[in-house]
Amino acid sequence: MRKIVLTQVLLLLFGVLMAQQKPAYILYNSKGKKVAYQKMIKHLVENDVVLFGEYHNNAIAHWLQLAVTKDCFNKKNLVLGAEMFEQDNQTALNNYLTGSITAKGLDSSARLWKNYPTDYAPLVNFAKENKLVFAATNIPRKYASMVAKGGFQILDTISAKEKSWMAPLPIAYDAELPGYKNMIAMMGGHGGENLPKAQAIKDATMAHFILTNSKEGSLFIHYNGSYHSENYEGINWYLKKQRPNIKIVTITTVSQKDINTLLTENKGKADYIICVDADMTNTY
C-alpha cells in the first residue's frame, strides 16, 4: 500500500513539474498534430533531401539545425549545403573545410552573413570535423539583383564563368505559383514582375547545386530561409521539376504567441513545423 501511495505522489509531482515547464517550441506535422522529435529524425533519414526552412534570426531554428544534423549523421551519411553561401565562394569554403585556410581566412575571402559566427559556423565546423561536403548553393547576390531589375534576359549579357555560378539557363519559371504571386502582393506591386523572378533564380540555383552535390545513399540537408521551401514550392518545386522521383522532406519555422495549438494559417506549410514562442530572443 505504501508503495502505491509513493508511486501516486511521485506521479503527481512529475505532473506538476511538467505543467510548470514553458517550452520554447513545439514540433508539429503538416496537419497540426504534435510529433516527437525522434520520430521526425527517423523519417528524415529515409529520404534524399531535407529542406530546413529557418527564420534567419531565430535561435531555436539554428539550435535545431545543428541538433538535427548531428542526429541524422548518427544514422546516415550526410551532405550539407546552405543558401547562406554563394556559389562563387565555394572554393573559399572548401579551403576552410580542408584546413587550407583559417576561420579568419574564410571571413576575408567569402561573403559571410553577419550572423555567421553564431548561427552557421557551428554547422560548417561540424562538416569540417567530420569531413563532410558543404555546398555553397546560392546564386551570387549580384546576379539576383540584376534579375530583379532587368528580368531573366539580363543574364544573357554575362560571361560563361559567371553563368557557372547559377542554374543552367534558361530556367523554368511559373509566375502563377502562389509563393511568387504573394511576393508581388506583399510588396504592394512595387518591384513588378521581376521581383519573384529574382526569387526564382535563387530557388532554381539552390536546387541545381543540391542535385549536383547529392550522393547516392546519402541524405542532403539544406539550410535556407523558410520562404524558399514553404508550401512545397520554391526549391522543392525545382528539385521535383528536375528529378520527379526524389524524396524530399521539408521543415519550416513559424512564430506564435501561443504555441500549444498550431494556427490554421501555419498548417500545411511543411512536413514538420517548428512552432516557436513569439517571445524568443532573436540572434540579431
pLDDT attached to residue 95: 98
pLDDT in tens, 108-166: 999 999 999 999 999 999 999 999 999 999 999 999 999 999 999 999 999 999 999 99
The one-letter code for the residue type at 193 is: E
Question: Is position 172 within any domain?
Answer: yes
Name the band, by pLDDT with cuts 50, 70 and 90, for residue 184: confident
Mean pLDDT, rounded, for 211-235: 98
Question: Is position 178 within any domain?
Answer: yes
Q: pTM score, two decimals? A: 0.92
Do 246 and 49 meet the contact criterion of CB atoms below 8 Å apart?
A: yes
Name the band, by pLDDT with cuts 50, 70 and 90, for residue 14: very low
Do 82 and 51 meet the contact criterion of CB atoms below 8 Å apart?
A: no
What is the number of domains present in the chain? 1
Question: Is position 154 within any domain?
Answer: yes
Mean pLDDT, rounded, for 18-29: 81
Question: Is position 9 within any domain?
Answer: no
Question: Is position 18 within any domain?
Answer: no
- Tell me: pLDDT of 234 over 70: yes
The CB density around residue 122, as the number of other CB atoms within 10 Å, is 16
Residue span of the structural domain in which 266 resides: 25-277
Backbone phi, psi, residue 275, to 5°: -95, 110
Name the band, by pLDDT with cuts 50, 70 and 90, for residue 189: low
Question: Is position 3 within any domain?
Answer: no
Name the band, by pLDDT with cuts 50, 70 and 90, for residue 188: confident
Question: Is position 94 within any domain?
Answer: yes
Mean pLDDT, rounded, for 170-189: 90
We report the CATH number of the domain holding residue 137 as 3.40.50.11550
